[in-house]
Amino acid sequence: MGKRLKNSELTDLIRLLVFGFILNFMILPLYAQTTLPVMGKVMDVSGRPIPGANVVEKGTTNGVVSNIDGNYSIQVKGSKSVLTISFIGYINQEVKVGSGTSSVIELIEDMRNLDEVVVVGYQVIRKSDLTGAVASLKAAELNLTTPSLGQSLVGKVAGVQISQVSGAPYESTKIRVRGTASINASSDPLYVIDGYPSNNDLFLNPEDIESIEVLKDAASAAIYGSRAAGGVVLITTKRGKEGSPQISYNFQLTSNQLSKKVDMLNAQEFTELHVEGHNNAYRNLLINANKPWDNSYFGDDNAARAIRLGSSNSAAMIPAYMYDFKNQKVIAPQYNTDWQDELYRKGMSQRHSIAISGGGKSVRYQVSGDYQDQQGIILSTGQQRGNLRSNIDIDVSKKFKLGTNLSMTINKNREVQEGRFDKGPILGALVYAPIFRCYDDNGNLIKNEMASNSPYAMQTIENPVALATETKISRNAIRNTYNVFGTYEIIPGLIAKANLGMYDFREKYQFYNPTSLSSGVNPPYSVEAKAAAYAISRSQGVQNYLGEYTLIYENKFGEHSISSVAGFSHQENRNDVLEIRASGFEDDHIQEVTALGADPGNLTLGGSTSKSNWTMLSYFARANYNLSNRYYL
């Protein structure tokens, strides 16, 4: 027989347990903390602070920018982390964090790169004369193995958030230069492609890129006005160089797949959970209604349960193929379907790029073409995209020069619905029960199986593979940009430039919800399924016109250097959207609004229908001055 504790001993034991419990929760956060704060200062060899220096944790996208005093603060993974510090015109430096959490870092001027130039908005200036926070990337630094330009920038620009918000091949990355600064207004940066302020459709061939500059601070981006509230991304494409014709061809073949599946119940686990939950619900419903209960009632079949409850409550009903009522045992399921395996696939992608460049002293050219066919990781999804680009430079005389930038992009998307599980296959694959098959023995999709089990409290959802493959969503678009510019040197150092351009965008979006899909509990091709079938056709047209006129003056007087620009910009945009919705389909032979002829009763105007025009007039100026390449203003 054990010894019985006295009251005082029991009290001491309880106090000890409580103290240990509290101490455990005080210590746990210390072990859970996985980041180490590191602070420091970036300076040049003369001891002057360097504002706008990039400080990045090596091997990650974690990075910050030093402030006006050169100070920075960053959270790193641990003492073994390595920081890479870089700034235009200086040699990159790597520093091990170690045990120290504060350090002063001296950057040494890179004399080889001081004469390199960067684009900073209406001007090209030397890196050594740059005072703002500008990140510059050359073509060699981009990750050209990615299918899109946005993805090729991931991890390349410190202080810029670049995230892939969707795995769909037709969705672009989200780029945030200054974070999310507004609830209502867009936080997207302004994209300027070869001098043309554009939207965020970065459907460019990464092989065409010569350089990318990101204007991160307000001083650098201010010349573009309020449009640049989210920062500016300047993209310069490749141009021809004097010499014999050069032909290059590049082919890429890649594959994409789901990186990690959601851990779901298998068929046996689902069946056991369903039976146990409904048995417990049956007992609770009777007890809560002040009716007698005995564990033998677990053997009641659905008819007996309905009699005892007074109604056929779906929460208490169990399918006969799941449960042996007489012996109160779970019946092993016949099928075990992993719906994520059924919906997702390994998506193959291929890209072909060809470019021809060359020219003489007076005329230089760069012509390129690109075709990409990318399968999505969801069945039936994908994108086909083609790019054509032509850049031509003509030296009419020593003082007068002309240039053209012509580009065309065509894309054809096959998309899927996203959102609620009863409409979109992505969430549907996480909800559809694993006890049901995807295909029958003949390879045909099995539909309405889970919805037909709604009397047993199952969701009225359609086979997610059928939702992905039979709901037709297409988006076809063509983008054309025409840009002509000319420069004339009025006097040495003073250049006048005119830049005229036009952007034309046409898109056709079509959606069709077929009669071959269930409508709730109602099976395919039923009266209710036909009534639920509908089609949407949306056409959008955008025309944008640009005229920019600038004067650029650059000169050097002894130790004094001046660089300035002033100009006027006129930009006009017209957007026209027409959306039609059709219903009344009897079959799926013609899967678009035109299947219904001219019957006005079946056609309605969609909510996206709109028309808008805007015009922007801008006046801008900027001047830079430096003394002895040391003092800048």
pLDDT at residue 220 above 90?
no
pLDDT, one tens digit per residue, over 416-449 is 998 777 788 999 999 999 999 999 999 999 999 9
Using pLDDT thresholds of 50, 70 and 90, give the confidence band for residue 189: confident
> Which pLDDT score, from 0 to 100, does residue 232 have?
85
Cβ proximity of 466 and 423 under 8 Å: no
d(CA 46, CA 56): 23
Q: How many residues are there in the chain? A: 633
In Å, how far are 297, 309, 320, 331, 357 from 281, measured between CA atoms? 12, 11, 17, 19, 74
pTM, whole model, 2 decimals? 0.77
- Residue ranges of domains in the chain: 1-32, 36-107, 117-255, 267-335, 417-470, 472-633
Name the most confidently modeled range: 158-167, 183-192, 477-486, 589-598.
477-486
> Which pLDDT score, from 0 to 100, does residue 29 have?
44
Mean pLDDT of 557-565: 86
Write down the residue that tokens 């193959």 correspond to: 348
d(CA 537, CA 582): 9
In Å, how far are 403, 587, 589, 592, 596 from 600, measured between CA atoms? 51, 19, 20, 15, 9
pLDDT at residue 127 above 60?
no
Give me 364's structure tokens. 């230089």
% of the chain beyond a pLDDT of 90? 53
d(CA 405, CA 486): 12
Ordered alpha helix ranges (H), 106-205 = 149-152
H/E segment holding residue 355: strand 347-359
- Torsional sign, CA 591, 597, 600, 605: positive
Architecture of domain 36-107: Sandwich (2.60)
CATH code given to domain 117-255: 2.170.130.10
Enumerate the β-bridge partners of residue 16: none
Mean pLDDT of 86-106: 81
- DSSP letter string, 220-252: HHGGGGGGGTT-EEEEEE----SEEEEEEEEEE
pLDDT, one tens digit per residue, over 526-543 is 999 999 999 999 999 999
pLDDT, one tens digit per residue, over 56-82 is 888 887 888 888 888 998 888 888 888
d(CA 85, CA 91): 9
pLDDT at residue 115 above 70?
no
pLDDT at residue 209 above 70?
yes
H/E segment holding residue 280: helix 267-288
> Which pLDDT score, from 0 to 100, does residue 190 have?
87
